[in-house]
Amino acid sequence: MSETKKRSRFKKKRYTIPIIILILLIAFRLYLPTLVKNYVNKVLADIPGYYGQVEDIDISLIRGAYVINGMYLSKGTAESQVPFLNFPKSDISIEWKSLFKGKIVSEIIMTSPEVIYVFEDQKEESGDANTDDWTKALTDIVPIDINHFEVHDGKLAFVQLSAEPNIDLQIDKLELTADNLRNVVEKERILPSPIRANGVSIGKGKVSLEGNMNLVKKIPDMDLSFSLEDAEATALNDFTNYYAGLDFDKGKFGLYSEIAIANGHIVGYVKPLLNNTKLIGKDDSFLEVLWEGFIGFFKFVLKNQSTDTLATKVPFEGDLNNVEAGAWPTFINIFKNAWIKAFKGEVDNDINFKDAFKSENLTKEQKRELQKKEREEQEKKRKKEQQVKKG
């Protein structure tokens, strides 16, 4: 064989191998979205008692990300055809800023997600259907621990189709941000993960949630406050008419709550509030007017006359497997509001994270952190009082 032929064959091999490798890489890249889609669909199909799928997967290797489009999950026995979970777009990527801190974690940004609890679908038994199964499955879809989570234009809803008319309680336009979920920074803090959320409820009420958590623990610790303000009470009529046989002609509705959980021990309260409400409507039947008038009498007796506010405060405390509301404190607070002082339409700020701790379980580090948090809260309170005086 001549030297020229040998050189020519060597040149062909030198270019052929890289070209083959390049073609294989391109083919793998083109097939990768289908591969990931098949994996995600298999995960969803294997959830006991549920079924679901995704429409499409987009891959961005440069960002280290993939986008799940059109994912939904429904209960196996559901008849409503309304997906329990509906996630039109979920962007899952590496959180690059954490790489500089030596941590490989992910972030998720969800656009227009919906969680719709249809009463009839969820009350039906569905084999081995279990909440832990679908939550674990959704976590498995993300190969790296989640450190940052965002929701934009989300929706939470409770629907009861058997009621006439149908009951539909919801929070729309939900914006939520939760950060440092894997304790990448501020590891020394007891509650290192801040969470903030706001939205719009039925009746155009303003919804707000804020607080801090520690999700690394098996039973997460948290200190949260929630408020729903200035909702039109008439928006509750489908719910109150079905369950209590009454409706509102006018007025405002509010709901306030604080919750603290430490080492599996929970303490908190829920405070519903009605302001300037009227029960009897023009189109009510005689029996409806009679019943609403009866309820209205007790409403008049129990409300605070100076502010036209009917409210109570429902405290609760216990472990997460046995949370019970205090019945007597609830009744006492009704009369306290009516005859002693009106409840303020705001979060009371009287539940602190330390209230959830049992003193014998506190470590030195936890005590120091709680003292620090207490000083911060006192400083906020002092500044707020100064602003009131100046105003």
> Among residues 263, 334, 342, which one has the least CA distance to residue 301?
334
Q: Which residue has the tokens 């997906």?
A: 83
Tell me what the pLDDT averaged over the chain comes to.
Answer: 80
> Among residues 66, 166, 69, which one has the least CA distance to residue 116?
166
Spacing of C-alpha 113 from chain mean position: 11
Identity of the highest mean pLDDT range in 65-74, 285-294, 321-330: 65-74
pLDDT one-digit tens code per residue, 291-315: 555 555 555 555 665 666 777 888 8
Q: Is the pTM of this model over 0.75?
A: yes
Pairing of strands 206-214, 221-232: antiparallel
Structure tokens at 385: 């009082």
In the 8-state DSSP scheme, what is residue 356?
G
Q: What is the pLDDT of residue 56?
A: 93
Q: What is the pLDDT of residue 12?
A: 58
Q: What is the pLDDT of residue 373?
A: 73
Give residues with Cβ within 8 angstroms of 95, minimum separation 6.
105, 106, 107, 147, 148
* 202: confidence class by pLDDT, cuts 50, 70, 90: very high
Structure tokens at 233: 């009470």
Identity of the highest mean pLDDT range in 16-25, 257-266, 283-292, 326-335: 257-266
Tell me which of 14-18, 78-82, 178-182, 186-190 is least confident. 14-18
- The whole-angstrom separation of Cα 340 and Cα 335 is 8
Q: Looking at the predicted structure, is the pLDDT value of residue 130 above 70?
A: no
pLDDT one-digit tens code per residue, 91-126: 999 998 888 888 889 999 999 999 998 888 776 555
> Among residues 254, 379, 352, 245, which one has the least CA distance to residue 311?
254
Higher pLDDT, 340 or 143: 143
Q: What is the torsional sign of CA 193, 108, 41, 74?
A: positive
> Among residues 76, 74, 51, which one has the least CA distance to residue 126?
76
- The whole-angstrom separation of Cα 170 and Cα 196 is 18
